[in-house]
Amino acid sequence: MPFRSRAAFGALERTLLEVLWKRPGEQLSGREILGALDGSPAYTTVMTVLDRMVEKELVQRHRVGRIGHYAAAGSRGEMTAELLRDTLGSVPAADRAAALIAFVGDVSHDDRAALQGALDRLSPSSAS
């Protein structure tokens, strides 16, 4: 996967990613992305942030002539998982269990059930 998390997304980065995630498999020009934002913020701001997102490997840029077309470097799920891995990896090993318990203790019942289902699918004992 080309995306490598370095930090949580900024507000405008998240907004731009939301636009790209809504159109998976497509490459959008800066003008198309701006159009999905109802014209705000300014075009130059969007392009500056997209350039920085390319450097951070959050988005991929494909040039068609002089026009850049952009796509998210990963799906919402892939990128969220990478952020979670990076965050957990930044916690000292001795504190990881406490961090996980605190996190799981704060999630909704539905999210906890989804997490339990994922753990069950990954468990070697459930492969029988």
Between β-strands 59-64 and 28-29, what pairing exists: parallel, antiparallel or unpaired? Answer: unpaired
| Strand pairing category for 67-72 and 28-29 | antiparallel
Quick check: 125 pLDDT over 60?
yes
Q: How far apart are the two ends of the chain, measured CA to CA in Å?
A: 30
CA distance 48 to 36: 17
Structural contact between residues 33 and 50, judged by C-beta atoms closer than 8 angstroms:
yes
Examine the pLDDT at 127 and tell me if it is beyond 70.
no
Structure tokens at 13: 């980065």
Q: Is residue 1 predicted with pLDDT exceeding 50?
A: no
The Cα–Cα gap between 41 and 25 comes to 25
Residue 62 pLDDT exceeds 80: yes
pLDDT score for 53: 95
pLDDT in tens, 7-61: 567 899 999 999 999 999 999 999 999 999 976 899 999 999 999 999 999 999 9
* pTM of the predicted protein model: 0.76
